[in-house]
Amino acid sequence: MTEQLAHTPGGAPNRGPREAIYELGGAESTCVLPPELDVPEVVLDEALGGVARTRALSLPHVTELEIMRHYSHLADMNFGVDSGFYPLGSCTMKYNPRVNEDACRLEGFSGVHPLQSTETVQGALELMYRLQEALAEISGLPGVTLQPAAGAHGELTALMCFRAAHTASGDPRKKVVIPDTAHGTNPASVTMCGYDTVTIPSGPDGLVDLAALKAALDTDTAAFMLTNPNTVGLFDPQILEITEAVHAVGAYAYCDGANMNAILGKTRPGDMGFDALHINLHKTFSTPHGGGGPGAGPVCVTPELAEYLPSPIVALLDDGTFVPHDPSRTIGRVRSFFGNFGVLVRAYTYVRALGGEGLTEVAEQAVLSANYLKERLKTAYDLPYDRVCMHEFVLSGGRLKREYGVRTLDVAKRLLDHGFHPPTVYFPQIVDEALMIEPTETEPLSALDAFADALIAIAHEAATHPDTLHSAPHTTPVRRLDEARAAREPILRWTAPEK
């Protein structure tokens, strides 16, 4: 093995594995004291109709300091955007502004119950209404629901609207077409909505193969789902022909808006002929990813489809009051209450912080930064689609694999030693040994350069010291994991060691 790199991800103290919180403290340890009872005690089993708990319950027994130490240790083993460069393609890991965090914690937002009468929640409803307006403007699609909890939920919501609209016109359809570059949630949403998925191959240029699309489209097609810019980072220049072909068979054109960051203020899915779009607020609109969520996946649609949107949406009455409103032919609810309101507050704060010009600048810088990185990396790795990219681009590690037996996985793991979070790897599946790199607009040039230097150094290292890559990472809190064992004998919860 060659030299170990000095710094660890995020510069965090290199802390190793930690015992489970269930192993800490003693039976007597407590953190929050239970409330004093100021009303008559009840006999539990009587009150509960004879089903008081008989099974033992074993939650942690810890003090507040032990909790903070435990989670500080866990946090130190974690890598977030604040730890370092996080170019995870398709995920838009931009900086999460702190003012957003403060806004959503204002008691007038965080302490509101969703079933309070509308006159007591005018501020919350107004915020939702203003966000609907902003997303309508940004997307070019005037009907907006803020209900979906994530992108996948938005996809499904839109498909349900398509189904309802086709059914209403007496023409229920059976299938949905997607390109082979589609994110896995697209076909999974198709199945949940009761349609069959038809996957079409992309052209050699990574774009929609128009002939294949036309061949797949027929009057049984409910929709075509396209991520545009797509998942190899390209804006499909045939977009107008695509949406026209979809409409020609009476199908709907759906835009997976995971990549909206590239086109904010530059063009709008509604103008391109899309009928519906989801936006991931946790990507484009800077709301934090939370270690996997929560996000929000608002859906924007044409006026025709707006009457099918899930209930409720927020409407403004002539007298200036905001009310929850059920669209006339609503598909119904897709979840409880009003959506992930806390996430909506953050996104709204972001929109107002940046304004229209600021949002446009976001797209411009995100795209420029991606093209800059692409230029810096395109000789050290293979660039399957050599043209102007949008906010992200895909490299192939195929050459390293062929020549040195080093896989993209090894490259990704070695990046960890350099203090960077790896790009998205092995997606999209049409690119061999894919590395999908999305820098976002919030990274300084020095970070882009340091990352490029590291990836280039790793490509050289693949030739000289392939074993160092095979065994990477070397400096992280834990090393490569035995994933096969995890799946073979799943241990999915903590249990007390047998005495």
Binding stretches for ligand PLP (CB under 6 A): 90-91, 150-152, 183, 185, 227, 231, 256, 258, 280, 295, 297
333 binds other proteins (CB under 8 A): yes
Instruction: Out of 320, 482, 497, 499, point to the residue binding other proteins (CB under 8 A).
Output: 482
Contact (Cβ atoms closer than 8 angstroms) between residue 461 and residue 414: yes
Q: Which of 272, 236, 235, 277 is nearest to 256 (CA)?
A: 277
371 binds other proteins (CB under 8 A): yes
Q: How far is the CB of 160 from ligand PLP (least distance, A)?
A: 15
Q: In the window 260-319, what residues touch other proteins (CB under 8 A)?
A: 263-268, 271-272, 280, 282, 286, 288-295, 310-311
Alpha-carbon span 484 to 489, nearest angstrom: 9
The binding track of 202-221 with respect to other proteins, each residue x by CB under 8 A or -, is: --------------------
Q: In the window 220-239, what residues touch other proteins (CB under 8 A)?
A: 234-237, 239
499 binds other proteins (CB under 8 A): no
- What is the chain's length? 499
Alpha-carbon span 446 to 324, nearest angstrom: 47
Instruction: Out of 5, 126, 383, 430, point to the residue binding other proteins (CB under 8 A).
Output: 126
Alpha-carbon span 28 to 25, nearest angstrom: 8
Interface region with other proteins, contact rule CB under 8 A, candidates 103-111, 211-219, 246-254, 454-462: 103-111
Q: How far is the CB of 432 from ligand PLP (least distance, A)?
A: 20
What is the sign, positive or negative, of the torsion defined by CA atoms of 87, 90, 91, 95? positive
Interface region with other proteins, contact rule CB under 8 A, candidates 209-217, 249-257, 397-405, 478-486: 478-486
CA angle 250, 255, 260 (to 5 degrees): 160
Alpha-carbon span 6 to 4, nearest angstrom: 6
Q: How far is the CB of 83 from other proteins (least distance, A)?
A: 6
Contact (Cβ atoms closer than 8 angstroms) between residue 172 and residue 220: no
Tokens of 382: 């293979």
Alpha-carbon span 95 to 283, nearest angstrom: 10
* Backbone φ and ψ of 458, nearest 5°: -70, -40
455 binds other proteins (CB under 8 A): no
Q: Of 180 and 326, which has the nearer Cβ to ligand PLP?
A: 180
Q: In the window 166-185, what residues touch other proteins (CB under 8 A)?
A: 183-185
Q: How far is the CB of 298 from other proteins (least distance, A)?
A: 13
Contact (Cβ atoms closer than 8 angstroms) between residue 272 and residue 239: yes
Q: Of 165 and 258, which has the nearer Cβ to ligand PLP?
A: 258
